[in-house]
Amino acid sequence: MSRLWDILKRNTMLIVLILVMILFEILIRWNTNGYGSLFRPTNVTNLINQNGYVVILTCGMLLCILTGGNIDLSIGSIVALVGAIAGVFMVNWGTNIYLSMALCLLIGLGLGAWQAFWVAYIKIPPFITTLSGMLAFRGFAWLILGGLTISAFPPGFSRYFNSFLPGTGTPGENYAFTITVAVVAALALIAIQFWTRLKKIRKHYEVEPMWELLLRLVFGCFVIIATGHLLGRDKGIPVILILLAVVVLVYNFFTMNTVPGRRLYAMGGNEKAARLSGVNTDRLMFFCYANMGFLSALAALICVARFDTANPSAGTNYELDAIGACFIGGASAYGGVGTIFGCIIGAIFMGVLNNGMSLLGMGADWQRTVKGLVLLAAVIFDVLSQKRKRLS
């Protein structure tokens, strides 16, 4: 019984996400007399396309939070600024799309490095530094665009973020391919989990009971295949989903399986002790904020491709979505705690909230109220958990 209770505590947010999805499904069906559904194939596709930027920004924000509860308030403004630059390059100047994308990513990295220098080496608090960036970068976006918008990006650019695999995107055309990819992904998940378990056993590490592993695999495979089934009934696999999977897997591997990744957790747990142990905390801090700029630029390219517009108001409140997803997904406000997959669950939760409330016809005022209360509840839960650990 105690083991089952531990599993439930570790997966609290996942259980809450499932319950919220069931609640929205019931409310939407009741509100539409059975015609609407949260799990319609087109709605699942829209959920992925509309929230891709949250997943990418969340991966970068988690690294910043791990260093000691620090955040980056400038990412929404970087999205607007890099989007404006992309519009000037591709639309106004007709620059090659590949060169334009590379330059935009480098500019985003440069903006992140600019802030990282002040945070890591001059020791200006991240809140102040990124607040300054939030104001300055947004102002530059307005100056570059002159308060106007740039639209009609080259079709070749939009194709890389808005198309589907492998065909034209006709509903149902790609079902066989999509479900095959989902089955292969499920089999890969099974193989990786068993290989990881065997590796731990060989090194005489403690492993979870077999029934717990099998339960997790059954649930994971069901989610993968069900998602593949729904996407296959629509237009197939969105290209953006492939990009998101690559980003998530790379950053999960970095945090869980590399020396710098483990040092981030050590730094967040006790920065002074980590420094005395030989960890270059300044370099780690610089990396986290420079990386945040790079991922913000990637999110900017996704957003301008999706909206086909560069707008100086783009990216508004994106930083709040990323911060909220991290804390809802289990990251600690004190730093040193959190996982990529946990934060992705938080990002999905935020997306489901947005999508579900929109389908129910709730206005933006109520949506912000609900998201604010959910974020507060997540932070309260974290603070109380930390107090309980210290007392025990």
Q: What digits encode the pLDDT tens for the residues 230-252?
A: 998 888 899 999 999 999 999 99
In a domain, 236, yes or no: no
For 110-141, what is each residue's pLDDT tens digit?
999 999 999 999 999 999 999 999 999 999 99
In a domain, 218, yes or no: no
Q: What is the pLDDT of residue 176?
A: 87
Buried b (16+ CB within 10 A) or exposed e, 202-237: eeeeeeeeeeebeeeeeeebeebeebbebbbbbbbb
In whole angstroms, give the CA distance from residue 253 to residue 261.
8
Q: Is the pLDDT of residue 303 over 90?
A: yes
Confidence of residue 171 (pLDDT cuts 50, 70, 90): low
In a domain, 237, yes or no: no
Q: Residue 337 maps to which CATH number?
A: 1.10.3470
Q: pTM value?
A: 0.92
Give the HSE-up count for residue 15: Cα atoms under 13 Å, Cβ half-sphere. Answer: 7
In a domain, 155, yes or no: yes
Kindly state the tokens that stand for 307.
């909206």
Q: What is the pLDDT of residue 86?
A: 96
DSSP state of 88: I
Question: Which helix (DSSP H) or strand (DSSP E) does residue 309 occupy?
Answer: strand 309-310
Confidence of residue 19 (pLDDT cuts 50, 70, 90): confident
Q: Is the pLDDT of residue 343 over 70?
A: yes
Percent of the chain surpassing pLDDT 90: 52
Domain count for the chain, please give it.
1
In a domain, 312, yes or no: yes
In a domain, 387, yes or no: yes
In a domain, 189, yes or no: no
Helices (H), 203-317: 210-233, 239-257, 259-269, 271-276, 281-307
Range of the domain at 73: 44-166+259-391
Helices (H), the chain: 2-10, 12-31, 41-66, 75-87, 97-120, 126-145, 155-162, 175-202, 210-233, 239-257, 259-269, 271-276, 281-307, 318-328, 340-359, 364-391
For 68-91, what is each residue's pLDDT tens digit?
889 999 999 999 999 999 999 999
Q: What is the pLDDT of residue 159?
A: 84
In a domain, 190, yes or no: no
For 261-282, what is each residue's pLDDT tens digit?
999 999 988 888 899 888 899 9
- Name the range with the highest mean pLDDT among 10-14, 84-88, 379-383: 84-88
Q: What is the pLDDT of residue 386?
A: 64
Q: What is the pLDDT of residue 190?
A: 94
For 176-235, what is each residue's pLDDT tens digit?
889 999 999 999 999 999 998 898 888 888 888 888 889 889 999 999 999 999 998 888
Q: What is the pLDDT of residue 357?
A: 87
